[in-house]
Amino acid sequence: MRTRNGLADVVALAGLIFALVAVAAISLMFVGEPLVASLEGPSPCGVKGSFPDPQTDPACLSAHSDYYQYDPGADAWTTPAMRLSLTLNPIAWPSALFFALGGGLTGGIALAMSTRRRRTAITALALSSVIVVGIVVFFIGLVASGGD
The proportion of the chain whose per-residue pLDDT surpasses 90, expressed as a percent, equals 45
**Mean pLDDT, range 105-127, rounded to an integer:** 93
Taking the C-alpha atoms of residue 33 and residue 88, their distance in angstroms, rounded to an integer, is 8
Give tens-digit pLDDT for 83-106.
888 888 889 999 999 999 999 999
For residues 130 and 144, what is the distance between their CA atoms, to the nearest angstrom?
21
Per the CB < 8 A criterion, the answer to whether 123 and 35 are in contact is no
- Tell how strand 69-71 and strand 76-78 pair up: antiparallel
Query: How far apart are alpha carbons 62 and 78 in whole angstroms?
Result: 11
Q: Is the pTM of this model over 0.85?
A: no
How many CA atoms lie less than 13 Å away from 59 in the CB half-sphere? 0
Which residue, 107, 103, 117, 104, is CA-closest to 5?
Answer: 117
Average pLDDT of span 23-52: 78
* Domain boundaries along the sequence of the chain: 1-40+86-148, 43-78
The model's pLDDT over 69-79, given as tens digits with 9 standing for 90+, comes to: 887 877 777 78
According to the model, what pLDDT value does residue 71 have? 79
